[in-house]
Amino acid sequence: MKKYIIVTALSLLTMLAFSAPVMAGAVTDNTGNVVLGAACEYDLSNSVYMDYIADNYANAQYYSLGTVHSGGNRQFVTTSETSVIWWQTVTKGTQNSPSVTTTSTTGDLSSTWSSL
């Protein structure tokens, strides 16, 4: 089961990381869904939190994406400047999704993060 959750999380992070132009201007509507681009909605699973940062939401060249599940003890990030998905251990119950700068590189993340 644990492998299934990790594979699912990695798949989601990879998909979202490579779809940054679609996510440009992502906002949350009044139901908690993330609105992507032209009224496409993505509803996060219960207890999953996501943080998406872009240098320019209308035409993002640099972005970062972080996610955490409050039922687990790991959070994940990736940025436009690295092809690696990074993780670190957090306290179970954490609801603050990780936030890193949009131009963070492998060198910036390696001290506190581990690569998958």
Could you tell me the residue ranges of all domains in the chain? 2-115
Task: Please provide the DSSP assignment of 56-78 as one string.
Answer: -TTS-SSEEEEEEETTSSEEEEE
* Position 36 confidence tier, pLDDT thresholds 50, 70, 90: low
Q: Is the pTM of this model over 0.75?
A: no
Supply the DSSP symbol for 69. Answer: E
Contact 103, 78 (CB under 8 A): no
| H helices present in 45-112, as ranges | 106-109
- For residues 96-105, average pLDDT: 83
Is 30 or 83 the better-scoring residue by pLDDT?
83
Lowest-confidence segment of 35-39, 45-49, 58-62, 78-82 by average pLDDT: 35-39
- For residues 13-40, average pLDDT: 52
Taking CA atoms, 99 is separated from 2, 31, 46, 88, in Å, by 24, 23, 20, 12
